[in-house]
Amino acid sequence: MKRIYLMICLLLLVVSFQILPAQETTDQPGVLKLPPEEYLPPMHLDDPALEEVLRKINGVDPYEVPDLELKRDKTYARTAEDVEPYSGVVPFKEHFLEQMPYTGPGRAIPEPEQVDTVKLGFIGPIMSTVSVATGGKSHEEPLGIQMLKGARLAIEQANARGGYKDRSIPFELVVTNDNGLWGASGNEIVTMAYKDNVWAILGTIDGANSHIAIRVALKAEIPMMNTGDTDPTFIETNIPWVFRCISDDRQMGYLLVDYLYRKMGYKRVGLIRASNRYGRFGVREVKDGSRRLGQPIALEMAYTLGTDDFGLQLDRLVQADVEAIVHWGNGGDAARILNQMRARGMDQPFFASDRAVSEEFVQIAGKNAEGVMCPYPWDPERTDAKLDYFRQAFRDRFGVEPDTYATHGYDGMNMLIWATQVAGLNRAKIRDVLAYRTKPWPGVSGDIYLTAAMDDVGEVSMARFENGKWSFYTREDLEVPQGFIPARDRISREATGDLE
């Protein structure tokens, strides 16, 4: 039976490949226009502190570990005291406060004597596929295609600026599709690591596939930059090869619960979410934060991906007498749920995850979109000439506006390019310069400072659809109160009586 199913899947996969050229691709002809140099990302050593790092990582033999100071964070993920798990108890052990070192022999692997191109990998959902993990449909390829465009623009710009170490050796983007089918992302990472011999990999979006990919990256010892998976647990794995340059659902969840309870004072909030990993893990911080702030979620309803009728879930939410509704899932589903709510006369404020900040949501929701609010992983309305030049270059090249996935894909790929330029063709050293960089990365999405867990916990924003467009507000703009974030870890706090 499984063989028949596999055959069908393969057939559909082949069909999807055939269809692809008719869909949007990322290599359509366009004009590559370079912004002025000062508005482009660093291509060379720009952090004086890294000179010492380079001296140390270049000076070790296979058996030594460079004597580098590990990052230490005072609190995990800038978590306010009153939304910490078991905040009244001092845990036996806290994780992720100290950076994970890489202690293997990889730094001593010599660079290849000659390369024609410098390969960097990309994995993302870019082709329409049938997937068990996504409910028999594919939903994420619009996001993946934007991410690929951002990564491709970074590569093309780097090549236009001289390529690898200004030696006219081009960077080559090795592109693979992440179709979520039977854990295929793991196979793709194996292929890129052992056959294509890429130096680092960027991807992916789906939380399950991201986890599969980083487990392979750990064993194959290859740096992996994530720019689109906002699952908080992605980085909570202690893998020293993994980086993420986008704020996650934890940070967005913190802002949302602060807005719901500390700002608006709601007492009964209902959840409706996709029955997949994105929905399941995305709402965790909202659920936990609600409970910890004394307002447990009144009702949580899940729906199967691909469902068009949300009547059952909405009936239950009406019965639960909720004051506001939070949705975590894809933008199209958010719009359909919102429309069905309003059609039933449900007038509760509607909050949704960041995937609703999309053209698809606006088109489907129509006038119902007005007033909808979504936490968002960055502030796209920030004033930054780098961002403006990036957007212009993106439009020139691809003829469309870059979204969140394109923007972070561009930043993430530029970080990998920079690390390769600085460290040379050695995976462990590429990992090192990213891990031990002391200055924030000057991204077009904002300054990116990686924590000890190699995660970006930069400021998130709140999007509100008003007057026919999305507007973005910071915590300060909306005057959203926040709990106290202690300056010490929980165990130390207890020892010094700081908790009292």
Partner 1 sequence: MKVSLEFGFYGKSIITSLLLGGLISPVVAEEASPDPAGIELPYVYTNWKTFTTKDGLPNDHIFAVEAVGPEVWIGTENGLARLDKKTGEIQSWTEKDGLPWKVISALAYSEKTGELWIGLFGGGLARYSAGRFDHWHQLNSGLVNDVVYGIALENDNVWIATTAGASRYNTVTGEWAIFTEKNAPMEEIWNYGVSYNDGKVYLGVWGSGVLEYEVATGNWKDYLDPDGEMEIDLYRDDGIVHVITTGTSYIDGILWVSTYFGASRYDGRHWRGYFAHECGLPSDFINAIQGRSGTEAWFATDKGVGALADFETDTWVTYTRDTQTNEGLAIVSRGPEILKEVRSGINIPHNYTLWTEMDGNDVWIGTSKGLAWGIGEGYYRGLKAATPAKADSGPGTDEPNTTPVRR
Residues making contact with partner 1 (CB under 8 A): 2, 6, 10, 61-65, 76-77, 85-86, 89, 91-96, 100-101, 103-105, 182-183, 186-187, 190-191, 194, 208, 211-212, 215-216, 219-220, 232-233, 236-239, 490
Shortest distance, position 490 Cβ to partner 1, whole Å:
8
Instruction: Return the residue matching tokens 């740096």.
Output: 223
**Smallest separation (angstroms) from partner 1 to the CB of 22:** 28
Q: What are phi and psi of 465, to 5 degrees?
A: -85, 115
Look at residue 474 and give its three-state secondary structure. Answer: coil
Bridge partners (DSSP) listed for residue 351? 326, 373
Q: Is residue 98 exposed (0-12), middle (13-18) or buried (19+ Cβ within 10 Å)?
A: middle
* Interhelix angle 427-435/49-57, nearest 10 degrees: 150
Strands 446-448 and 350-352: unpaired
Of 237 and 482, the one with the shorter C-beta distance to partner 1 is 237
> Least distance in Å: CB of 282 to partner 1?
15
Q: Of 211 and 437, which CB lies nearer to partner 1 in the complex structure?
A: 211
For 247, counting Cβ atoms within 10 Å of its Cβ (0-12 exposed, 13-18 middle, 19+ buried), the class is buried
Q: Is 187 or 492 the residue whose CB approaches partner 1 more closely?
A: 187
By the 10 Å C-beta count (0-12 exposed, 13-18 middle, 19+ buried), 289 is classed as buried
**Widest Cα–Cα separation across the chain:** 70
Measured CA to CA, the distance from residue 338 to residue 348 in angstroms comes to 10
* Smallest distance from partner 1 to CB 288, Å: 9
Closest approach of partner 1 to the CB of residue 451, in Å: 12
Comparing CB distances to partner 1, the nearer of 212 and 415 is 212
- Residue placing its CB nearer to partner 1 in the complex, 96 or 470: 96
* Minimum separation from the CB atom of position 418 to partner 1 (A): 27
Q: Please confirm whether the linkage preceding 204 is cis (ω < 30° from 0).
A: yes
Q: Shortest distance, CB of residue 253 to partner 1, whole angstroms?
A: 14
Residue closer to partner 1, measured from CB, 192 or 334: 192
Q: Which stretches does DSSP call E strand in 249-395? A: 269-274, 299-303, 324-328, 350-352, 373-376
Q: Which is nearer to partner 1, 47 or 98 (CB)?
A: 98
Quote the least distance from Cβ 421 to partner 1, whole Å: 27
146 or 451, CB closer to partner 1? 451
**Which has the closest alpha carbon to 361: 447, 252, 470?**
470
Between 24 and 494, CB nearer to partner 1: 494
Nearest approach, Cβ of residue 190 and partner 1 (Å): 3
Report which of 448, 470, 430, 456 is spatially closest to residue 386, judged by C-alpha positions. 448
Instruction: Provide Rg for the chain, Cα atoms.
Output: 23
303 has which bridge partners? 274
Q: What is the C-alpha separation between 123 and 136, in angstroms, rounded?
A: 20
Cα distance from N-terminal residue to C-terminal residue, the chain? 62
